Amino acid sequence: MFNTMPNGIQSTMKRLEEIDRRDRLDGTPRLQRLRQIPPETGRFLAILAANAPDGECIEIGTSAGYSALWLALACRATGRRLTTFEVLEEKVYMAKETFREAGVEDVVTLIHGDARHFLRDYARVAFCFLDAEKEAYSECYELVVPNMVSGAILAADNVISHQADLACVVRGAAADGRVDSVVAPIGKGVLICRKA
Ligand SMILES: C[S@@+](CC[C@H](N)C(=O)[O-])C[C@H]1O[C@@H](n2cnc3c(N)ncnc32)[C@H](O)[C@@H]1O
């Protein structure tokens, strides 16, 4: 399914992968960089999202929309929509262009703002990808987990690349009776939590 993606999505992904690669080499300031997931993480998330139970599919931290394209593939394959949150205006502008170019506007809703102000409104979460500033992880986790349906997945990126910053989130999930969790050593390290 993800091996034969539409040309528009594939070419847009390639364009973003090239910008991200260049950003990391040329000293682009951190907040301007796309800081997106590598392709193997995208494929991993799409496979997980395609197997999530019925409910809402959300993403916290859109940047230019690269990971959202992978999730949009899963949503399209399973007849759902993705809602993705981005706080920075310039990234929202880039993500809009990404979704238009890739032809996924029919399955993606982009919300401009701090996700923490909106998450209480999502009461039946089936899949959540958390990829925001690390200081926001604990708060986002606590806002999302109570609203996850049984069998829902929360995936949080960077738990190996930012091990020190996110150790409390990983430890908290391991001790949380509401979820089963494991760290998958894919890309920058993805914490997977499944609602019991
Ligand atoms: C690591 S980047 C996301 C990369 C993206 N998921 C991808 O792989 O293509 C983090 C993004 O989250 C945004 N962000 C950080 N905190 C946020 C919050 N509380 N709500 C919404 N967006 C946030 C940042 O502005 C930044 O664009």
User: The domain spanning residue 190 has which CATH number?
Assistant: 3.40.50.150
pLDDT band at 31 (very low <50, low <70, confident <90, very high): confident
Lay out the sheet containing 148-157: strands in order across: 108-112, 82-86, 56-60, 125-130, 148-157, 190-195, 179-184
- What residue numbers bound the domain in which 23 lies? 7-195
Average pLDDT over residues 93-115: 98
Instruction: Tell me which of 34, 120, 122, 133 to substitute to probe ligand 1's pocket, judged by most ligand atoms within 8 Å of the beta carbon.
Output: 133
Predicted local distance difference test score (pLDDT) of residue 1: 66
Nearest to 70 by CA among 109, 101, 44, 88: 44
Which residues have any ligand 1 atom within 6 Å of their CB? 35-37, 60-61, 63, 66-67, 85-88, 91, 114-116, 131-133, 136
DSSP class of 121: G
Which of 30-39, 41-50, 66-75 has the weakest average pLDDT? 30-39
For the ranges 30-34, 49-53, 79-83, 119-123, the lowest mean pLDDT is seen at 30-34
Which pLDDT band, with edges at 50, 70 and 90, does 171 fall under? very high
Q: Is residue 70 part of a domain?
A: yes
Q: Is residue 1 part of a domain?
A: no
Residue 160 lies in a domain: yes
How far apart are the CA of 191 and the centre of ligand 1, in A?
17
How many structural domains does the chain have? Answer: 1
